[in-house]
Amino acid sequence: MSEANGTSVNLKTSPVGGGGVPLADVVARQLETLLEAGNYDGAKLLLQPVQEVDIAEAIGTLPRTLQALAFRLLPKDEAIEVYEYLDPSVQQTLLDRLRSGEVLELVEKMSPDDRVRLFDELPAKVVRRLLAELSPAERRVTAQLLGYEAETAGRLMTTEFIDLKEFHSAAQALELVRRRARETETVYSLYVTDGSRHLTGILSLRDLVVADPQARIGDVMTREVVSVSTETDQEEVARAIQRYDFLAVPVVDREQRLVGIVTVDDVIDVIEQEATRDLYAAGAVQAGDEDDYFQSNLFTVARRRVVWLSVLVVANGFTSEVIALQGKVLSQVVVLAAFIPLLIGTGGNVGAQSSTVVIRGLSTQRIQSLGATRTILREAVAGALLGVLMLVVVVPWAWWRGEGPLVGLSVGMSLLAITTLAATAGAALPLLFDRLGLDPALMSAPFITTATDVAGVFIYLQTAGWLIGRLGTG
Amino acid sequence: MSEANGTSVNLKTSPVGGGGVPLADVVARQLETLLEAGNYDGAKLLLQPVQEVDIAEAIGTLPRTLQALAFRLLPKDEAIEVYEYLDPSVQQTLLDRLRSGEVLELVEKMSPDDRVRLFDELPAKVVRRLLAELSPAERRVTAQLLGYEAETAGRLMTTEFIDLKEFHSAAQALELVRRRARETETVYSLYVTDGSRHLTGILSLRDLVVADPQARIGDVMTREVVSVSTETDQEEVARAIQRYDFLAVPVVDREQRLVGIVTVDDVIDVIEQEATRDLYAAGAVQAGDEDDYFQSNLFTVARRRVVWLSVLVVANGFTSEVIALQGKVLSQVVVLAAFIPLLIGTGGNVGAQSSTVVIRGLSTQRIQSLGATRTILREAVAGALLGVLMLVVVVPWAWWRGEGPLVGLSVGMSLLAITTLAATAGAALPLLFDRLGLDPALMSAPFITTATDVAGVFIYLQTAGWLIGRLGTG
């Protein structure tokens, strides 16, 4: 976490402002000109007031041949922070182009959590070589983090935190914070452990600054602590920090020993990543490495979509078969076909609405306030209600278009059945999947829509066939 | 922001863990029993180790008659924090049931940003009365915040921050932090202003703790500061804090005077809220007060969906009209109708994929790395490619089902046209809306799908009609 560094840029004119040219682009272009002219002092001066994340983005857009050159201009401490912000592909380019001594120093000084994220992207051979060259302490920490499963607190956490003892005085503790401030990720949450590294309490730097210098830490700390385990899913870690407005949450191992902390800045990225996954599922795009989507090539783009699309085409195939097999009804009254898209479209939209609300409710855990049974019931009634509202417009129009009651009545009866069914399925299927331990987003809009199509067409043509038997084809 | 308070609950067994009974429910049930038995000391003891947000949720689930009773048991300082976490409806119930002296003390002591959020929900008459009774300082601040537009930095910010002067020594500054720590929202980001309240620098409490006690603040602070304006959209504020890993960002007015700060905990809620909006748009659910969705009644549920649904039904109506007007082609070869759902379904899915990726890319601003023109082009080619892949399966099957080349060829030619068109429109329309300053999410999956339907059916039946002219009806 960086706190108070800054650029001279007010956000009104920066990339975050939406309009205008992104700041990193401007910096990159000036930087390229200066580097090509060999004006390295000018380049240093240019980068001096720029935030690390903006420098990283600027270096990322430079030609590959200039990236290492630009990177070498940075002061050592800043270089590490900039490196941690770089895209994995640029990180790899730099590893190839820097001298092995430079690489080692860089990797040795990275925070353990960022180092693990880098190692995840590197070829196994390179990782083994780098691990072997790390100092024993850093190697142990890195191997430990690499041992946790992806997307758990263990992978997300950093092992750089400040731990105090209950017998420290507030003044001693403050001195310790002062000494260790440079090397830890945050100094604002402080952890108190006993002789066997069990977490016994927590206090904030605010508490410490306010406390009487002579007070014992054991007396000013809070003994009741919210912690997560190394195996806790990253989404749960995010929810905990969000719910309690924490700056960091401690991570304990199975023996309840403090092994790391997860900070709020990492958690924001998790929340965004999980939201993107839900959205992609709603759009029938396979989840993956969302960060790189706009940098990936056409075949990756197509590959991430073709699986879902094929599943949906097969499902649509059932709809076609239902229609083909009921061809007799259609050939008697061709205009019935005109209302098929409207019926399945409306059913699909109602189903999508229900599944969207339920899937989001499961993600944000707000659904707990209503409960599963009442949610399904509410959605079913809402679906029927929406069906009735649509009837008022659609039935007279279908009646007129069909030049008689047959089409109007078929459309009306099946529309009501379809919307009720779609809303019920849209709510029940994600809840069922969640109960079974599967990802509810698999039952998102595209799947619900397509499943509704088959049922909708079947209900419609059955109803019409039955009505033709009673009313004739008028 | 609270930092180090805690509950005795490890998250493995808490509500955030997913399984099991939510913590707040357990607390609420025990609390209800104790209150009904008149055991107020027991209730106090029960609540003592529980986090404020959990107490707020527990009070929210109590019967209304017990809510004020439970609330009065809390120590004063904690009561204010709990009140800030309560749902607006429970906040109102308490306002009605507490004595006016109690109400005034509560509202007076709330943070300005939370107070403004409460006032937003209250009837105008109540707000006017409460405003009149506030102390002049709090009244001025509240009126000022209420004057900013909804969803801007001005509305989100708190006016409680610590401002230092450049001539302070580090020791003086630390003493100031110590004195003001209780009343400010965060002590970790410190702001330096000149005589006319212009922001001249920033430093973190970490910098201050590490600094030589004799050092001048003007010499240890960072002069280049990222700030936002009171009018900056809350989503941009969130992006800034996320991008730079800040704990807080300063807010300046038009004259560049420091008027407030936005902290990271508020920003996490904004990020989640914006993600919910994008998702709801993708599911054709109208955005609104997402927090309350699972607590709102059936009519609110239906109302939030009926508008979008009606728009889509009307759009579907055009599809029906296109089919009805081309009835002659269908009556010649009825089996053509069987492939309408497959064609418009596939077109809709391809369009939804493109619009999902583009809308999310616009939200997270990752799309900037590719640019608008190249994005549209890439999506168009991806759509065509996906169309070709689908052809391989669909054409032979349609050929067989139609007992001759006519249906197979019609389906094949139109499928390719539809997927290409859908992907292009799915990418281009959100980008166009964004360029025009409209919300790109308006062009999300449901709209793209329905628009594709009309075009798809038209292309399909035109192609079939043209082929019938050349091949006959076989």
Contact check, Cβ <8 Å, B282/A283: yes
pLDDT in tens, B201-224: 999 999 998 899 999 999 999 888
What integer best gives the mean pLDDT of chain B? Answer: 84
Q: Residues A359-388: pLDDT tens digits?
A: 888 887 778 777 888 889 999 999 999 999
Confidence check: pLDDT of A298 > 50: yes
**Closest residue of B to A211, CA-based?**
B178
List the one residue out of B341, B317, B455, B337 whose CA is nearest residue A449.
B341
How many angstroms separate the CA atoms of B447 and B355, rounded?
10
What percent of chain A shows pLDDT beyond 70? 93
The average confidence (pLDDT) of chain A is 84
User: Which residue type is seen at A355?
Assistant: S
What pLDDT shows up at residue A260? 92
Residue burial B219-247, b: 16+ Cβ < 10 Å; e: rest: ebbbeebbbbbbebbbbbbbbbbbbbbbb
Residue A381's pLDDT is: 92
Quick one: DSSP state of residue A198?
B
Does the pLDDT value for residue B17 go beyond 70? Answer: no
Joined together, the tokens standing for residue B281 give: 């748009």
Q: Which residue has the tokens 């000084």?
A: A109
Q: What is the pLDDT of residues A92-102, one digit of tens each?
A: 888 888 888 88
Calculate what percentage of chain A has a pLDDT beyond 90: 23
Alpha carbon distance A472, B4 (integer Å): 76
Confidence tier at B111 by pLDDT (50, 70, 90) = confident
| Least confident window among A58-72, A154-168, B7-21, B109-123 | B7-21
Distance (Å, rounded) from C-alpha B73 to C-alpha B55? 11
- Measured CA distances, A244 to A368, A470, B53, B180 (Å): 18, 64, 7, 23
Looking at residue B313, its pLDDT comes to: 85
Q: Which chain B residues in 357-416 lie under 8 Å from chain A, judged by CB atoms?
A: 357, 359-361, 364-370, 375, 378, 381-382, 385-386, 389-390, 393-394, 397, 401
Give me the DSSP letters along A330-363.
HHH-GGGGGGHHHHHHHHHHHHHHHHHHHHHHHH
For chain B, the farthest-separated pair of C-alpha atoms sits apart, in whole angstroms, at: 96
A6/B222 touch (CB, cutoff 8 Å), yes or no:
yes
| CATH class, A291-471 region | mainly alpha
Tokens of A232: 């806790």
Would you call A111 an interface residue with chain B, using a CB distance cutoff of 8 Å? no
* Torsion-angle region of B287 (φ positive above 0: left; ψ -120 to 50: alpha; else: beta): beta
* Residues of chain A contacting residue B3, judged by C-beta atoms under 8 Å apart: 188-189, 204, 206-207, 246-247
Find the Cα–Cα–Cα–Cα dihedral A274, A276, A282, A288, rounded to 10°. -90
Percent of chain B residues topping a pLDDT of 70: 93
Nearest CA in chain B to A285: B353
- Residue A158: φ, ψ to 5°: -110, 150
Question: Please, where in chain B does CATH 3.10.580.10 lie?
Answer: 163-273
Q: Which two tokens stand for residue B179?
A: 């004195």
Residue A55, pLDDT above cutoff 70: yes
Encode burial over B355-386: b for 16+ CB neighbours within 10 A, e otherwise: bbbbbbbbbbbbbbbbebeebbebbbbbbbbb
CATH 1.25.60.10 residue spans of chain B: 11-156
The residues, ordered by sequence, that sit 6+ positions from A275 with a Cβ below 8 Å of its Cβ are A363, B271, B272, B275, B278, B279
In CATH, B163-273 is 3.10.580.10: yes
pLDDT confidence of B285, banded at 50, 70, 90? confident
Give the pLDDT mean for B282-287. 73
Q: CB neighbours of B306 closer than 8 A, spacing ≥ 6?
A: A386, A389
What tens digit of pLDDT does each residue of A309-345 get? 888 888 888 888 888 888 788 888 888 888 988 898 8
Average pLDDT over residues B236-256: 90
Q: Give the closest of A279, A340, A342 to B282, CB-based.
A: A279
Q: In which region does residue A251 sit, left (phi positive, over 0), alpha (psi from -120 to 50) or beta (all else)?
A: beta
CATH number attached to the domain at A163-268: 3.10.580.10
Q: Tell me the per-residue pLDDT of A399-448, one tens digit each, with 9 for 90 and over.
A: 888 888 888 999 999 999 999 999 999 999 999 988 888 888 777 777 88
Query: Which residues are CB-neighbours of A398 under 8 A, at least 6 positions away?
Result: A339, A407, A408, A410, A411, A412
Terminal-residue alpha carbon distance, chain B:
74
Count of A-B CB contacts under 8 Å? 447
pLDDT greater than 70 at residue A19: no
Mean pLDDT of B136-152: 86
Q: Is the domain defined by A11-156 classed in CATH 1.25.60.10? A: yes
Find the range with the poorest average confidence among A155-164, A248-257, A390-399, B96-105. B96-105
CB B199 within 8 A of CB B251: no
* Residue B165 pLDDT: 94
What are the b/e assignments for A232-259, b being 16+ CB within 10 Å?
A: bbbbbbbbbbbbbbbbbbbbbbeeeebb
Contact B339/A at CB under 8 A: yes
Can you state the angle between helices A88-97 and A64-72, rounded to 10 degrees? 80
Q: In CATH, what is the architecture of B290-471?
A: Orthogonal Bundle (1.10)
pLDDT band at residue B438 under the 50/70/90 scheme: confident
Contact at 8 Å (CB) between A4 and B207? yes
- pLDDT for position B9: 37
Mapping DSSP onto H, E and C, the string for chain B reads: CCCCCCCCCCHHHCHHHCCCCCHHHHHHHHHHHHHHCCCHHHHHHHHCCCCHHHHHHHHHHCCHHHHHHHHHCCCHHHHHHHHHHCCHHHHHHHHHHCCHHHHHHHHHHCCHHHHHHHHHHCCHHHHHHHHHHCCHHHHHHHHHHHCCCCCEHHHHCECCCCEECCCCEHHHHHHHHHHHCCCCCCCCEEEEECCCCEEEEEEEHHHHHHCCCCCEHHHHCECCCCCEECCCEHHHHHHHHHHHCCCEEEEECCCCEEEEEEEHHHHHHHHHHHHHHHHHHHCCCCCCCHHHHHHCCHHHHHHHHHHHHHHHHHHHHHHHHHHHHCHHHHHHCHHHHHHHHHHHHHHHHHHHHHHHHHHHHHHHCHHHHCCHHHHHHHHHHHHHHHHHHHHHHHHHHHHHHCCCHHHHHHHHHHHHHHHHHHHHHHHHHHHHHHHCCCCHHHHCHHHHHHHHHHHHHHHHHHHHHHHHHHHCCC
Q: How confident is the model at residue B11 (pLDDT cuts 50, 70, 90)?
A: very low
The pLDDT, as a whole number, for residue A283 is 77
Q: What is the pLDDT of residue B225?
A: 87
Predicted interface score ipTM higher than 0.90: no
Of B6, B401, B445, the CB nearest to A445: B445
Pick from A3, A272, A283: CB nearest B246: A3
- Closest of A317, A321, A336 to residue A466, by C-alpha: A336
Residue from A444, A395, A173 nearest B352 by CA: A444
- Residue A231's H or E segment, with its range, is none
Q: What six digits make up the tokens of B329? A: 């082609």
If we measure between CA atoms, which residue out of B336, B382, B442, B75 comes closest to residue A300? B382
- Least confident range of B375-379, B395-399, B439-443: B439-443
H or E element that contains A202 = strand A199-204
Sheet holding B189-193, edge to edge: B163-164, B189-193, B199-204
A417 in reach of chain B (CB within 8 A): no
Mean pLDDT of the region B380-403: 90
* Minimal CA separation from B310 to chain A, in Å: 7
Is the CB of B285 inside 8 Å of chain A's CB atoms? yes
Q: Could A309 and B350 be called an inter-chain contact, meaning their C-beta atoms sit closer than 8 Å?
A: yes
- pLDDT of A104-150, one tens digit each? 888 888 888 888 888 887 888 888 888 888 888 888 888 888 888 88
User: Best mutation site among A177, A244, A419 for testing chain B: the one with the most B CBs within 10 Å?
Assistant: A244
Q: Which residue has the higher pLDDT, B23 or B87?
A: B87
The residue type at A30? Q
Residues of chain B with CATH 1.10.357.20: 290-471
Residue at B427: amino acid letter:
A
Contact B340 A339 (CB under 8 A): no
Residue B400's Cα: distance from chain center in Å? 49
Which residue's entry shows tokens 């019920």? A424
CA distance B358 to chain A (A): 9
Angle at CA A195, nearest 5°, toward A192 and A197? Answer: 60
Question: When comparing pLDDT for B157 and B445, which is higher?
Answer: B157
Distance of alpha carbon B76 from its chain centroid, rounded?
32
- How many angstroms separate the Cα of A65 from the Cα of each of A37, A98, B323? 14, 11, 59
Q: What is the pLDDT of residues A182-221, one digit of tens each?
A: 778 888 999 999 988 999 999 999 999 889 999 999 999 9
Residues B8, A224: C-beta atoms closer than 8 Å: yes
Tokens found for residue B109 = 């002591």
